[in-house]
Amino acid sequence: MRIAVFASGNGSNFQAIAEAIASKQVDATLCFLFCDNPKASVIERAKKMGIPFTVFSPKNYENRAAYESELLKQLELNAVDLIVLAGYMRIIGPTLLTAYANRILNIHPSLLPYYPGKSSIQDAFEANEKETGVTVHVVDAGVDTGPIIAQEKVAILPEDTIDSLEARIHQVEHRLFPQVIQKVIENKTIKKSE
């Protein structure tokens, strides 16, 4: 299976996926990293690991459709089967959703449908929840709403700070996301849209 990872920031999940592919825990080819933010650290991680990357910002395009059409060109040129969103901070529009229906995965740091959106770790922590977690789901037109493939709980401990909780959530993400990607590849649960 040929994969592209989209990321906007730090890129620790990108690195975990890239390492799982390099060590053959995930049976896939990592075609390229796409990043929408030229300043993101994930680009340095791709360079260090020798993984091809493409960087461009939607600011340079007239609208989302034009931006996504450019992205689609890159995906098709590389015969990408599956898109993996790993901290990609944009909503996927109709151009990509149609071309890659049921073939886009996302990871989210909460037990969806609870705490969708950008500050879910903080939101769960500040709501004094006793647990939160990690969700991997198929992407649809909503924000963090698509069909759930896997979830893992993370306890919020009395001594936790946001930082310690965040660190534990990331540890779970780095293990869970590659595992789920491999399952998707094996079960072929994600159907090609053409």
| Per-residue tokens: 60 | 């340079």
The gap from C-alpha 75 to its chain's centroid, in whole angstroms, comes to 16
The distance of closest approach from Cβ of residue 157 to ligand GRF in the complex, given in angstroms and rounded to an integer, is 19
Site for ligand GRF in 6-65 (CB under 6 A): 7, 9-14
Residue 89 annotated as binding site: yes
For ligand GRF, which stretch binds (CB under 6 A), given 4-12, 71-79, 91-99, 186-194?
4-12
Residue 142 annotated as binding site: no
Contact flags string 95-124 toward ligand GRF, x per CB under 6 A: ------------xxx---------------
Annotation marks residue 170 as catalytic: no
Site for ligand GRF in 170-189 (CB under 6 A): 173
Rounded CA-CA distance 93/148 in Å is 19
Among 17, 87, 1, 3, smallest CA distance to 49 is for 17
> What are the E-state strand segments in the chain?
2-7, 29-35, 53-55, 82-85, 104-108, 131-138, 148-155
Residue 106 annotated as binding site: yes
Using CB under 6 A as the criterion, which residues of the chain lie in contact with ligand GRF when the complex forms?
7, 9-14, 86-87, 107-109, 173
